[in-house]
Structure 1
Amino acid sequence: MSGKLIVFEGTDGSGKATQAGLLCQHLEREGVPFREIDFPRYGKPSAAMVQEYLNGNLGKRPGDVSAYAASLFFSMDRYASYKQDWGGFYESGGLVVANRYTTSNAVHQASKLPEEERKEYLDWLFDLEYNKLGLPRPDLVLYLDMPTEITERMMRQREQATGTHADIHEQDETYLKNCRANAKEVVKDCGWTVINCASDGVPRTVEDIHAQVYRIVKKLL
């Protein structure tokens, strides 16, 4: 018996963590059992190479590390997470809500490649994680689409408010634009559900976005 896996995806700063958290709060109010997971698992040994990469210790720009190498860093963290944390719950029929997943590699790492090489990479990625590693395929991927100029502004505000430092993905606006352009094709090819998070260049409220999210999720429950 397998459970259900709902994934929130989007470029950096699109509100994935916020919307995943709001959904989990709603599920709790409704009495629906669930597990919430978040990638990468910063601070865990399995995410050490992810942190080396994102901190710029393997290259100061995202393109300094190949799509395939970077993908392996994230894949190993997901595999360890599944084996150590939520796999048993999922396999017993549980509902799992993920902030990022294999889908993040599809958005971020494929964007590093020429367009004609992206399908080959995506086939490799999904075969690696879903077949070779045995990780579950998502039942629903909610792609939060926010214009890059808005996410850039929101990330800079977040940095100032929290005193945190942007990683090499978040610092590179051109890279984020490429990720968003790549994601538009991935979304269509993979059948993800798009949530438009802005209207006429103005961000929608988190409550409005959540209401749309829950209407979609409710059909899966």
Structure 2
Amino acid sequence: MSSIHDLAAAAVAGTASSSHGEDGSGATKRRGAFIVLEGLDRSGKTTQVKLLEQRFVEEGRPAKVMRFPDRTTAIGQMIDGYLKSHVDLDDHAIHLLFSANRWESA
């Protein structure tokens, strides 16, 4: 199993890419890494995310943590009701709600 430090190093390796800036200068831009952690309930995902975010902050790199479903939105509250068995929804409908919830944060 990789350590959180190995994951952080791997995530930022090669994130610089050469492309033309909006001004056409051809300057090197830094591209972000999109890191996804999946796992069972209570498997330590939140702990690992906090450690990874802390590592990026210590290195002076910006980090944005996103969690799904995002229960702070109207769609997220509908998903939360479904997950807590308060609302019965068609499988296709809940799938679309999860997708819409991710787009809300994009």
TM range (shorter): 0.5 to 0.7
Which residue in the other structure is 1:51 paired with? 80
Query: How far did residue 4 of structure 1 move?
Result: 2.1
Say whether 1:42 aligns with 2:71: yes
Between the aligned partners of 1:8 and 1:50, the Cα distance in structure 2 is: 20
Distance in 2 (CA, whole Å) between partners of 1:20 and 1:65 is: 32
TM-score (normalizing by structure 2): 0.62
Note the C-alpha offset of 1:54.
1.1
**Cα distance change on mapping 1:54 and 1:16 into 2, 3 Å:** same
Q: Does residue 69 of the first structure (1) align with residue 98 of the second (2)?
A: no
- Correspondence for 2:102 among 64, 78, 94: 78
Q: Secondary structure at the match of 2:87?
A: coil
* Structure with the bigger percentage of strand: 1
TM-superposed deviation, 1:15: 1.2
Structure 1 contact 50–74 (Cα < 8 Å) conserved = yes
Gaps of 5+ in 1: 83-221
1:1-221 aligned within 5 A: 3-59=32-88, 65-66=90-91, 68-82=92-106
Question: Separation in 1 of the partners of 2:59 and 2:90?
Answer: 44
SS of structure 1 residue aligned to 2:105: helix
2: CA distance between counterparts of 1:26 and 1:46? 32
Partner letter of residue 26 of structure 1? R
What is the one-letter code of the residue matched to 1:71?
Answer: H
In structure 2, stretches of 5+ residues that fail to align are 1-18, 20-30
For residues 125-182 of structure 1, what are the alpha-carbon distances to aligned partners after superposition, in whole Å with 9 as ceiling and x for unaligned? xxxxxxxxxxxxxxxxxxxxxxxxxxxxxxxxxxxxxxxxxxxxxxxxxxxxxxxxxx
Q: How many residues align?
A: 77
Give the CA RMSD over aligned residues.
Answer: 2.0
**C-alpha contact 1:58 1:65 (8 A) present in aligned 2:** no
